[in-house]
Amino acid sequence: MDNKRRQFLKSGLAVGGVGAFAAGYATTTSHAVHGIIDGTAGKKTKHPHHGNSLTPEYKVTENGKLINNPAQRVAPSMCFGCWTLCGLRVRVDNASDEILRISGNPYHPLSNEHQIPFNTPVKDAYIAMAGEAGLAGRSTACARGNGMMEIRKSPYRITQPLKRVGNRGEGKWIPISYEQLLEEVVEGGDLFGEGHVDGLRVIRDVKTPLDPLNPEYGPKANQLLMTNAGNEGRDDLFKRFAFNSYGTRNFGHHGSYCGYSFRAGSGALMNDLNKFAHVKPDLENCEFALYIGMSPAQAGNPFKRQARQLATARTKGNFSYTVVSPALPASSSLAAGDNNNWLPIKPGSDSALVLGMIQWILANDKFNTAFLTQPGPNAMKTAGTAHWCNATHLVISDKDHPRYGYFLRASEVDLGFTGTALSESDPYVIVDAQSGDLSVHTQDQPARLFIDQVVTTKQGDVQVKSSLQHLKESAFAHDLEFYSAQCDIPVATITALAKRFTSHGTKAVVDSHGGNMHSNGFYNAYTILMLNALIGNINLKGGVMAKSGGYPTSGNGPRYDFTKFKNKVKPKGIFLSRSKFPYQKTSEYKRRIAAGESPYPTRSPWYPISAPLLTEHLSAAVDGYPYRAKAWINHMANPMYGVPGLANLLGDKLKDPKQLPLIVSVDAFINETTALSDYIVPDTVTYESWGMVTPWHGVPTKTVTARWPIVNALTEKTADGRSINLENFLIDIAKKMQLGGFGDNAISDSQGNWHGIHNAEDFYLRAAANLAYVANGVPAASSEDMVLSGLERLLPAMQRVLTPEELGKVAFIFARGGRFENATEAYKGEEMKYKWQKPLAIWNEKLGTSRNTMTGEYYSGCPTWHPQKLADGTPLAEKYPTTEWPFTLTNFKSNIHSAVSNLSPRLNSIKGVNPVYIHPTDAAKIGLTTGAMFTITTPTSATKAMALIVDGVKQGTLGFEHGFGHKELGERAHWIGDTQQPVKMKSNDGVNINDIGLIDPTREGKGVLLDWVVGAAARQALPAKISLG
């Protein structure tokens, strides 16, 4: 003990001496006594005052000079803690290559309200985040963004190729060489002593039909299913392999169990059933926001940006908002005062609330006539509106008419048209507002809104109705009391909300998102979003905005053309998920018609308007309808965790290799799905990998996040020294099988010279060159930019792949973490700069003319009330009456955890379990107390959960927070060779609603409960009952 300390001790302990002092504080006694006697207690800190706090990354002096800390670097990267994919700045220790801490990238609009101008030198961007200036200029990372760095060195990380030993799913693996991995996956054989398994080479036959009786299913190569979690920046390379090198039609991702009902419903309104576009509020200028099925600041995409915008909006004085949801979200704020409120609603009944509102709006003429009456672009120009819609277009409404549900065209009523009849150039028919005569939508004057009349066509008299008339009839199909009873919101509240929503002109918005994952989610979302159309707020400042998008990268760009290569194939055939193909064109349909039988119902539903669905791929592959799969390559997707009911339906089946003979996963960790693999290919984590991606939405300016390996990959290396990862695995398979698109001569430059793709940087550096040259290009980076962003480490790769001029420009982009349009470019006058172009669909023709293959009935072409339904149309409430199943379940996203964040100990220390919300009245009925365990049972399964009794949940509803209840991702200790992973990180990981999701009993080909129109997962509004214990 040094003298100084002893002196302090003497004066401090004058009263009672060491003994009395220690006895007074039982809990710390041992530490204190130890410290007093030995002079050292715990582990000595780095600094006497600053303890073990990190050494700052740089210093900014009083006069604004930046002094670098040479022991660290600060590099831009991308977060993958959730699907917002924010731009990051990452502090790295140069000696250890360890990530020290993460915050936001100042250039990135997802981490700022207003990102710093793109041309700002890196040094100035760092200075702008320091001191007083930094308060306005701060660029943030959320809890996940901060915490996810821990996954890189997680003890659960997979760094070497693994092959299962024992049965599938048993959790026992042996490390194998990369060469053995490639050999076995490509060539197949008796790989597990269980009999022959076809390898990728045998399965790839792009000519022979996989099923001669149903040639439309496509070639045998379609028996390879390739899925990824989603586009985290490497989708382009993954799809290039799947579609154009290997030639399988079957690519899927997590979208169908993550908000797809919302996007599909939005796509119906946006007239975009291809990409399912949606809009987001311009929060900077709107006056009233109505959130239904989404909770900003609690979750959503973009999570962080809209949370920050909401925080700003609610403190500036002229903004208010209402959040409609079954469980109280963090979106509401007591501190922000009366400008916000939470409106509790019965799960799955949002469209009843909104149809009630629509009814009031139509009955009281509170809709935007100027917007709705413009039948086309010419009238829009005359009227000076920012957009137009098909409200006035006439729909053939006679159900027996062969063109039922289609829009009446000029050619049918002898009005002028060009080109082919019933083609794009054949105008829609409307009733002119002034004359009341039939006219065409291309006129430059408004049309009548409510039409219900008989029109004489060349084929005789036909009943037609305008789109808005259909909406009106749908909204008035029930009275307000009926809607009120469905959603359990008083009529007065419904009408007050409608009044409020229509009291701000076009500066009100309705926003929705992933909270629509009900079996009626599609119509729910279409209905909710119709409110925006009724007030005509689209493309307007203070209204809703279209996606601004990004810049092209790996396409046909100014430097390299990625789209053409030798031996390129085009995928053919029908998706395993029976989507985006009319059943009426299948051989099956024709056979059934020819046999004189009803073509309905089908064994499992077809989804005429849907994207490929990972909610159906696996059930279909196992059931064999339409066909079976032979191999599955999965990059990170986790449907067994994320699709409600799927683990119950398929967990055991997928353990049987006969059902799906070869499963290869590419992942840095073992999740609930990849645990069922035959092989695991280790992958890089986001800080170690390449990738390019545009924000999902909510950014009004063009943005591309471009990430590069800012730290070394911790995976093992291939024999030629490359890291083992997704890109190299696909490249090497392609090379081994001599497929096009990879290896030598895979990509041509603008001079026609060919270049090879032998590793990830060959691909992504050239994609970055395209990004650096499009739209007038970017300047060259300064050497200071390169040093301060840690980009020097990339120089050897850049020098090898790029020309000197390309290098400078690519460095400019990589030093800033992407390419970003300036925040000042968001608007053009009173309109958004980037506008939605397709007319909004008050009636969606494609939807209204498609049929449900389980019942043979037409879908409704406009928003309509539908209760929760099973696939055959049986209402859930009929099959599972409330007398037996008195509760409904609701699921909400966590503001801390995502489905992949379980591996961060720090996030888990903040929130490690998710007690289920239950209302005090419901809890009292069975004597349930907060903290007690209770059992939640659905018709399919049951789980035990901890109760949290709160007023903030609708009575009769149980609220589940998402991101918990893992059985893998650190919850199970796998054996790798003779080493076991660390056993369980925590004693309880809470519950996952998807574990008690429903299997649909009405389907012949078994599947889980899905949205009956689009096949999106249904995890909301499920029936349940509870019991103590």
Binding positions for another protein, 317-356, rule CB under 8 A: 328-337, 340-344
Nearer Cβ to another protein (133/421): 133
Residues of this chain, 54-83, that bind another protein according to CB under 8 A: 54-62
Exactly one of 17, 70, 132, 402 binds another protein (CB under 8 A); which one? Answer: 132
Measured between alpha carbons, how far is 466 from 449 in angstroms, rounded to an integer? 7
Catalogue the E-assigned strands of 196-299: 197-198, 224-228, 251-252, 280-281, 288-292
Structure tokens of 186? 């490509």
Closest distance of CB 543 from another protein, Å: 24
Nearer Cβ to another protein (142/181): 142
Closest distance of CB 934 from another protein, Å: 12
Closest distance of CB 280 from another protein, Å: 17
Strand, helix or coil for residue 428: strand
Closest distance of CB 865 from another protein, Å: 23
Q: Is the separation of the CB atoms in 965 and 991 below 8 Å?
A: yes
Measured between alpha carbons, how far is 625 from 659 in angstroms, rounded to an integer? 13
For 816-842, give one letter per residue: b (16+ CB within 10 A) or e. Answer: bbbbbbbbeebbeeebbbbebeebbbb
For 978, the enclosing helix (H) or strand (E) is: none
Measured between alpha carbons, how far is 229 from 757 in angstroms, rounded to an integer? 24
CA 734 and chain centroid, separation: 29
Exactly one of 304, 441, 472, 518 binds another protein (CB under 8 A); which one? Answer: 304
Nearer Cβ to another protein (101/972): 101
Closest distance of CB 147 from another protein, Å: 5
Residues of this chain, 893-922, that bind another protein according to CB under 8 A: 895-896, 905-907, 909-913, 915, 920
800-805, Cβ contacts within 8 angstroms, sequence gap of 24 or more = 801/755, 801/761, 801/762, 801/765, 801/766, 802/765, 802/766, 802/769, 805/780
Exactly one of 182, 270, 273, 310 binds another protein (CB under 8 A); which one? Answer: 310
Nearer Cβ to another protein (343/636): 343
In degrees and rounded to multiples of 5, residue 413 shows phi and psi of -125, 25
Residues of this chain, 399-438, that bind another protein according to CB under 8 A: none
> Could you please report the per-residue DSSP string of 715-746?
SPBPTTSPBPSHHHHHHHHHHHTT-TTSEEEE
> Could you please report the per-residue DSSP string of 80-135?
-SSTT--EEEEEEETTT--EEEEEE-TT-TTS-SSPPPTTS-HHHHHHTTSHHHHH
Exactly one of 82, 307, 664, 704 binds another protein (CB under 8 A); which one? Answer: 307
Nearer Cβ to another protein (371/892): 892
Size of the site for another protein (CB under 8 A): 110
Measured between alpha carbons, how far is 206 from 244 in angstroms, rounded to an integer? 11
Nearer Cβ to another protein (333/748): 333
Residues of this chain, 24-53, that bind another protein according to CB under 8 A: 25, 27-28, 31-32, 34-36, 41-45, 47-53
The answer to whether residue 297 forms part of the interface with another protein (CB under 8 A) is yes
Nearer Cβ to another protein (150/749): 150
Q: Site map for another protein, 846-885, x if CB under 8 A?
A: ----------------------------------------
Closest distance of CB 8 from another protein, Å: 4
- Angle 357-362-364 from CA coordinates, rounded to 5°: 95
Exactly one of 123, 254, 314, 541 binds another protein (CB under 8 A); which one? Answer: 314
Measured between alpha carbons, how far is 239 from 193 in angstroms, rounded to an integer? 32
Q: Which amino acid is at 653?
A: K
Measured between alpha carbons, how far is 38 from 33 in angstroms, rounded to an integer? 8
Residues of this chain, 547-576, that bind another protein according to CB under 8 A: none
Structure tokens of 671? 């999740």
Q: Is the separation of the CB atoms in 242 and 253 below 8 Å?
A: no
Closest distance of CB 103 from another protein, Å: 5
Residues of this chain, 932-971, that bind another protein according to CB under 8 A: 932-933, 946, 948-952
- Angle 787-788-794 from CA coordinates, rounded to 5°: 50
Exactly one of 135, 213, 594, 719 binds another protein (CB under 8 A); which one? Answer: 135
Q: Which residue has the tokens 């672009």?
A: 377
Closest distance of CB 528 from another protein, Å: 20
Q: Site map for another protein, 969-998, x if CB under 8 A?
A: -----------------xxx----------
In degrees and rounded to multiples of 5, residue 743 shows phi and psi of 80, -155
The residues near 244 (Cβ < 8 Å, ≥ 6 apart) are 565, 568, 569, 570, 571, 740, 741
Nearer Cβ to another protein (25/482): 25
Nearer Cβ to another protein (38/597): 38
Residues of this chain, 490-549, that bind another protein according to CB under 8 A: 490, 492-493
Residue in 638, 688, 683, 644 with CA at minimum distance from that of residue 899: 638
Exactly one of 74, 129, 494, 1017 binds another protein (CB under 8 A); which one? Answer: 129
Nearer Cβ to another protein (135/719): 135
Q: Which amino acid is at 230?
A: G
Nearer Cβ to another protein (35/1001): 35
Residues of this chain, 136-165, that bind another protein according to CB under 8 A: 136, 138, 140-143, 145-147, 149
Closest distance of CB 144 from another protein, Å: 8
Closest distance of CB 937 from another protein, Å: 21
Closest distance of CB 578 from another protein, Å: 40
Q: Which range touches another protein (CB under 8 A), out of 261-269, 439-447, 486-494, 846-854?
A: 486-494
Residues of this chain, 10-29, that bind another protein according to CB under 8 A: 11-13, 21, 25, 27-28
Closest distance of CB 323 from another protein, Å: 10
- Range list of H helices, 258-349: 260-270, 303-313
Residues of this chain, 94-123, that bind another protein according to CB under 8 A: 100-101, 103-104, 113
Closest distance of CB 916 from another protein, Å: 12
Measured between alpha carbons, how far is 905 from 98 in angstroms, rounded to an integer? 17
